[in-house]
Amino acid sequence: GAVVSQHPSWVICKSGTSVKIECRSLDFQATTMFWYRQFPKQSLMLMATSNEGSKATYEQGVEKDKFLINHASLTLSTLTVTSAHPEDSSFYICSAPPGTRDFYEQYFGPGTRLTVT
Amino acid sequence: SQKIEQNSEALNIQEGKTATLTCNYTNYSPAYLQWYRQDPGRGPVFLLLIRENEKEKRKERLKVTFDTTLKQSLFHITASQPADSATYLCALGDQGGKLIFGQGTELSVKP
């Protein structure tokens, strides 16, 4: 089946630094990828839609200058959390619909646990 | 605003029984509805998709129903096993692929 990977799986950083999270589709091309954030015991919240070759579309309330998204190729999207603060600590998950199948079927990465100290 | 509600309490059932999870939504007309399984510290795993014009879908021991009039979906796991213990997420989707998730229901199947 379609596989989506994320790197790193977990990261600890100091407040004020930036962290980059990668999302890769391993066996299919993804013109669109989605980034979600999940706080403990809460639902996944869509942050932004990443489009290959164009600017990302951010959901209401998500700061585009803080969460930089770059979809550089058909298999890679990156999320950079700039000037991270403890409240940015969360579980970040990406997803992608396999282009060769039903677009609505999505495959999620394993997630990246970010802890900001 | 859009709202999705799943059984807020954890569901505890005996092995072999059927687990039924509920997903209700308001202020939204989804193109489709999906169910995912999520284990602790992992990303969601896709289980089933049902479109707005479909009433029922089955896949092995899983069955999902979708009532767009009631704005409700039911998710059934028959002959449940301890390995089915996880959190199950309901998600509503639009034509662009964007998903809105419920908060999830934690299922525990006891041997």
Radius of gyration of chain A (CA): 13
| Cross-chain CB nearest to B46 (options A43, A107, A113) | A107
Whether A49 contacts chain B with CB within 8 A: yes
pLDDT tens, position by position, A36-93: 999 988 899 999 999 888 899 999 999 999 999 999 899 999 999 999 999 999 999 9
What is the average pLDDT value for chain B, to the nearest integer?
Answer: 94
**B72 phi, psi to nearest 5 deg:** -145, 145
**Is the CB of A9 inside 8 Å of chain B's CB atoms?**
no
Those residues with Cβ within 8 angstroms of residue A61's Cβ, 6 or more apart along the chain or in another chain? none
Residue A105 Cα, gap to closest chain B Cα (Å): 7
Residue numbers of chain B with a pLDDT score lower than 50: none
Chain A 24-43, residues with CB within 8 Å of chain B CB atoms = 32, 34, 36, 42-43
Tell whether the model's pLDDT for residue A101 goes beyond 60. Answer: no
Binary contact (A110, B44; C-beta < 8 A):
no
pLDDT band at A97 (very low <50, low <70, confident <90, very high): confident
| CA atoms of A35 and A45, how far apart (whole Å) | 9
- How far does the CA of residue B106 sit from the closest CA of chain A (Å)? 10
Counting every residue written for chain B, the total comes to: 111
In angstroms, the separation between the Cα of residue A29 and the nearest Cα of chain B is: 15
| Bridge partners, residue A50, by sequence | A33
